[in-house]
Amino acid sequence: MAFIPKAKQLGLPALTAIMAGTVIGPGVVSLVGPSIATAGSGAWIAYIAAVIVGFLLIVPYALLCNAVRINGGNYTFISNNLGDFWGGVYGLAYTLNGFSIGMFGLSFGMYLGALFPSWDQTVLAICFITFFFIINLFGVNLMSKFQNVLFVILLCGMMCYIVFGLFHLRPEALDITAPGYMKDGWAGFGAAVLMLIFSTTGHFFAIAFSKEAKDPKRDMPLAMVLTSLIILILFPLLSFVTSGTMPLEAVAGKPLTVAAQQILPTPLYYAFVIGGPLMALCTTLNSIYTSLSRPLAQATRDGWFPEKWGATNKAGTPYIFMGFVYLMGFVPILIGMDISAITGNLVLITSITDLLVFFAVMRFPEKMPGAWENRHFKVPRPVFLGLIWLAIAIRIVCIIGSFNTLTPTIFLFTIVAMAAFCVYCYFRKKHHPIRIEKSYSID
């Protein structure tokens, strides 16, 4: 297995910037308002719960990264630990995340278009996803340098909103007995937590960068913990400031920019939109290209797709698959697909594939020789199994809870898509040799 030169390897700060930049995406900007509509002024408490539960869903990924360096992202350990068929199904299902590229583009066009109404939002969206596509073609080293800068700007933008808002809190903001706290009771609180969890688990995309990590068995799990700590502080504060400085009816169900326009002076508002929502989109999109294309490239080497599709350029970038992901992003933009519809179509498939990941992680001590003995953090076997089963139980609860919000169209799309993936893998395996490459290392 070829790894990049040591000079280009990613340390803990770079991995944290990649993970945190991925998680702090358009979800938090767009979900603060809806969570307030559901949980009232107590939405910030729902965010704390969502981040904690989300971290428990990330723990299986941390446990695996604690033991191996992974070349092909989540696809690697599913194909190695559950078998080639399920690896193929996961690889195909993973391609659907390419539509999220379009969601980021549409969001970027919407936010920048709010500042410059005369600019065409579709053109802005296309320029946005194209710029980061080009950056990622030059490899992880350049992408990581961009991410470090973007992440610092992002934190400054978010903290600008939070700090200014904390000095303008209404007296009732700290009164948990005031009307509006937990306005729909525990049912509303639980619904808010389920809605917010999806925006707190983006760490798993960064598994694809294990290949470039300087010390992946130590730094990948630590970066996941640090990322969860960052959003455990940032997300609840964003929600607390929003509901604590404005009447609930003014911010409930609204994007964060609506509250920011009322709270911040005009210069700070522009600074927040650029440094907050726009940077959140930039940091997420900057990392997502590699995260999506690398598992597909590994699946190609194993035989699931034509061999030529896995070609790489001089920077080691699987440019054909990255181009495929890029073109998938055009679909929602050109047909004018609603952002919430894109998210809804991805939530259920992501939840189902997460279960495959958890069962695959559970089997790695037996299926990846030497990995368990060489793990960096010596988690006892009973604790390891308990954490995996806890993540499985949480994910099943999330799937059941999502049925209340899924439309019949989204549910049907998920079932048809998964069935089609299974059929493709059955016939591909029957008529073409599938040879699972050892795409991990325990060094």
Judge residue 105's burial from the number of C-beta atoms within 10 Å of its C-beta, 0-12 exposed, 13-18 middle, 19 or more buried.
Answer: buried
* Side chain identity, residue 152: V
Residue range 258-285, pLDDT digits in tens: 888 888 888 888 888 888 888 988 988 8
Q: Considering the domain boundaries, does residue 9 fall inside one?
A: no
Closest CA to 239 of 194, 173, 175, 283: 173
Q: Considering the domain boundaries, does residue 11 fall inside one?
A: no
Q: Angle of helix 43-65 relative to helix 216-245, nearest 10 degrees?
A: 170
CATH code where residue 151 lies:
1.20.1740.10
Residue range 155-205, pLDDT digits in tens: 988 898 999 888 888 877 776 766 667 676 777 788 888 888 888 888 888
Q: Considering the domain boundaries, does residue 16 fall inside one?
A: no
Q: Considering the domain boundaries, does residue 17 fall inside one?
A: no
Distance of alpha carbon 192 from alpha carbon 389, whole angstroms: 24
* Average pLDDT across the chain, whole number: 85
Task: Give me 219's structure tokens.
Answer: 């730094």
pLDDT at site 229: 95
Q: Considering the domain boundaries, does residue 213 fall inside one?
A: yes
Closest CA to 60 of 82, 80, 77: 77
Run of H or E residues at 442: none
pTM over the 0.85 mark: yes
Q: In 26-101, at which residue ranges do the beta strands (DSSP E only) sit? A: 69-70
Does residue 30 register a pLDDT over 80?
no
Residues 328 and 99 sit within 8 Å (Cβ to Cβ): yes
Residue range 347-396, pLDDT digits in tens: 677 788 889 999 999 998 888 888 888 888 899 999 999 999 999 999 99
Run of H or E residues at 43: helix 43-65
Burial track 389-415 (b if 16+ CB lie within 10 A, e otherwise): ebbbebbeebbebbeeebeeebeebbe
* Domain span holding position 227: 22-441
Q: Angle of helix 43-65 relative to helix 381-402, nearest 10 degrees?
A: 130
Q: Considering the domain boundaries, does residue 8 fall inside one?
A: no
Q: Considering the domain boundaries, does residue 6 fall inside one?
A: no
Q: Considering the domain boundaries, does residue 358 fall inside one?
A: yes
Q: How many separate domains does the chain show?
A: 1
Contacts of 185 (CB under 8 A, 6+ apart): none
Judge residue 203's burial from the number of C-beta atoms within 10 Å of its C-beta, 0-12 exposed, 13-18 middle, 19 or more buried.
Answer: buried
